[in-house]
């Protein structure tokens, strides 16, 4: 009888989540949404990936990021729609400063970045997203 209980306890312990291998419990990598920064060692720039999640632009045809880094151009840096529905683009920006920016959706709707370092009021009655590099 003792052997049957011991076998059941061993089987239960093996089935518990705490005893699964690390490969079985590893969560899949998810691409960052919002602003992702990669500081480059070989150049004085930071590779910044701007990602606007599909929830912020679910019916959008076009999305551009506009800011101080491109003289607020409405079409200089279009974001590409990803397979998951998000929009993203990567830019090399100078390190050691901050930049104001916003997303422009379909040429008329502005959206801030939900993961910005902070927000600051702009002269038009709204807020700009701020990224610190």
For the chain, how many helices (H) and strands (E)? 2, 9
For 84-117, the pLDDT digits (tens) are 999 999 999 999 999 999 999 999 999 999 999 9
Distances (CA, A) of 53 to 31, 33, 62, 131: 11, 6, 13, 17
Assign a CATH topology to domain 29-132: Immunoglobulin-like (2.60.40)
* 122, 100 Cβ separation under 8 angstroms: yes
Backbone angles phi, psi at 103, to 5 degrees: -95, 140
Considering just the CA atoms, what is the radius of gyration of the chain in Å? 23
For 3-23, the pLDDT digits (tens) are 545 444 444 444 444 444 444
pTM: predicted TM-score of the whole model, two decimal places: 0.75
């Amino acid at each position: 009888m003792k052997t049957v209980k011991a076998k059941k306890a061993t089987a239960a312990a093996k089935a518990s989540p705490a005893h699964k291998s690390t490969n079985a419990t590893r969560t899949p990598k998810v691409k960052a949404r919002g602003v992702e920064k990669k500081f480059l060692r070989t150049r004085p720039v930071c590779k910044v990936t701007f990602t606007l999640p599909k929830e912020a632009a679910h019916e959008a045809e076009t999305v551009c990021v506009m800011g101080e880094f491109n003289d607020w151009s409405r079409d200089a840096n279009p974001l590409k729609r990803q397979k998951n529905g998000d929009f993203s683009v990567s830019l090399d920006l100078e390190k050691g400063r901050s930049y104001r920016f916003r997303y422009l959706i379909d040429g008329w709707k502005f959206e801030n970045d939900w993961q910005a370092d902070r927000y600051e009021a702009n002269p038009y009655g709204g807020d700009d997203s701020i990224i610190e590099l």
